[in-house]
Amino acid sequence: MKAPKFAADEAQRLSQLRALNIMNTPAEERFDRLTRLARRLFNVPIALVSLLEADYQWFKSSQGFDQTRSPRTTSFCGHAILRDDVLVVENALEDQRFHDNPLVTGDPHIRFYAGCPLRAPGGAKLGTLCIIGREPRQFTEDDEVTLRDLAAMAEAELAAFQTATCDELTQITNRRGFMTLGQLVLNECIIKQKPACLTFLDLDKFKQINDTLGHREGDRALMDFADAMKVVFNHSDLFARLGGDEFVVLFNGLKQPQAEALLQQFSRYLQQQFSHLNRRYNLQFSAGVVEFDAAQPQTLEQLLHNSDEQMYLNKKSKQALISAIQAP
């Protein structure tokens, strides 16, 4: 067996894949309809939309195959993304790359494979739309055209997913994406009995920036704030713009004191950045932190509500303190 090599643009490829925020999300009919159609059109038992992470492949849609992921080292799709066109294996037992592959010698007993690479909007190859058979077969030029057409539809759905879950202005996750991905994080915390913290962030005096300096400057403030979040909150944390000047961070695996320490680090970084950017204002925020208890789990909606309330109380307290200091 030959394990697939990594693509020359592997770092860029993984960056574009992760930017979609699609890995490990629930099944969706818009992808499932394509794999169902592929099974019928090609009369095969298995059809997949497969996406390749650093060390595994994950199936956004799977028809005829019960597993949701498998090692990248044994994947046929890992070989397919190294090509610019369809990879066809008419008889895996006669192919030196696959003849002793555990997916050939064992379940699902692959004999035939055809996979068309799926490209991200940025051009990187993320995975494949592929079909699998348990008997050797030939694959005609017309078959390849049909598979390419289905793959083009899958690519369009991937691009639509990014648009639907990415905030257009700040290019971070939007509310829809956060509600989907955040619940997945909480589900993992329940299974593994890990802590988590949710933090609601609201910009202070943002309306004043819009009213005095204009909405264009307000948009720039939001983008600056999001850029700072990208730097301080590493890839294990989920952060998003919920709308307006409201942001949220879900700290995976952290208790409240650790989350609050990271918020202090974020605040310091934000002030440093704004001093370098030489803006006409100093951007600050109010925050509310609530802890998630995996033994007595709350829904993501409940955590958002509670952290929003805590943020509001903190903002009122801050405003009262400022008023007291400024009073004659």
Same-domain check for residues 122 and 198 = no
Distance of CA 28 to CAs 16, 140, 160, 164, 180, Å? Answer: 20, 30, 12, 13, 12
Going by pLDDT thresholds of 50, 70 and 90, the confidence category of residue 282 is confident
Same-domain check for residues 209 and 312 = yes
Statement: residue 290 has pLDDT above 70: yes
Range of the domain at 189: 175-326
19 inside domain:
yes
Going by pLDDT thresholds of 50, 70 and 90, the confidence category of residue 322 is low
> Encoding tokens for residue 200?
């609601």
Buried b (16+ CB within 10 A) or exposed e, 234-247: eeebbbbbbeebbb
Same-domain check for residues 16 and 147 = yes
In this structure, what CATH number is given to the domain that contains residue 214? 3.30.70.270
- Please tell me the distance from the alpha carbon of residue 211 to that of residue 234, in angstroms, as a whole number: 33
In the chain the first and final C-alpha atoms are separated, in Å, by 81
Statement: residue 327 has pLDDT above 70: no
Distance of CA 301 to CAs 246, 259, 262, Å? Answer: 15, 19, 23
121 inside domain:
yes
Same-domain check for residues 294 and 273 = yes
Same-domain check for residues 57 and 188 = no
In this structure, what CATH number is given to the domain that contains residue 37? 3.30.450.40
Same-domain check for residues 188 and 149 = no
Our count of domains for the chain comes to 2
Last residue of a domain, one of 135, 163, 191: 163
Last residue of a domain, one of 111, 139, 163: 163
> What percent of the chain is predicted at pLDDT more than 90?
71
Q: What is the pLDDT of residue 320?
A: 67
Q: What is the pLDDT of residue 324?
A: 61
Last residue of a domain, one of 111, 133, 163: 163
54 inside domain:
yes
Same-domain check for residues 180 and 153 = no
Whether residue 114 contacts residue 140, with contact meaning beta carbons closer than 8 Å, is answered with no
> Encoding tokens for residue 245?
């000047």
64 inside domain:
yes
> Encoding tokens for residue 69?
């992921």
- Please tell me the distance from the alpha carbon of residue 81 to that of residue 127, in angstroms, as a whole number: 6
Distance of CA 216 to CAs 62, 114, 255, Å? Answer: 45, 49, 37
Long-range CB contact pairs, 270-279, < 8 A, 24+: 270/225, 270/228, 273/224, 273/227, 273/228, 274/224, 277/224, 279/221, 279/224
241 inside domain:
yes
Phi-psi region of 21 (alpha: psi -120 to 50; beta: other; left: phi over 0): left
2 inside domain:
no
Beta strand ranges found along the chain (DSSP E): 46-52, 56-63, 69-71, 87-89, 112-119, 125-133, 196-203, 238-243, 246-252, 285-292
Backbone angles phi, psi at 283, to 5 degrees: -85, 125
Same-domain check for residues 153 and 191 = no
- Please tell me the distance from the alpha carbon of residue 219 to that of residue 83, in angstroms, as a whole number: 41
Same-domain check for residues 156 and 95 = yes
Q: What is the pLDDT of residue 144?
A: 95
Statement: residue 273 has pLDDT above 90: no
170 inside domain:
no
User: Would you call 25 helix, strand, or coil by DSSP?
Assistant: coil
Most confident stretch, 172-181, 186-195, 296-305 = 296-305
Same-domain check for residues 64 and 123 = yes
Same-domain check for residues 124 and 159 = yes
Same-domain check for residues 18 and 136 = yes
265 inside domain:
yes
pLDDT digits (tens, 9 = 90+) for 46-95: 999 999 999 999 999 999 999 999 999 999 999 999 999 999 999 999 99
Task: Specify which residues 184 forms β-bridges with.
Answer: none
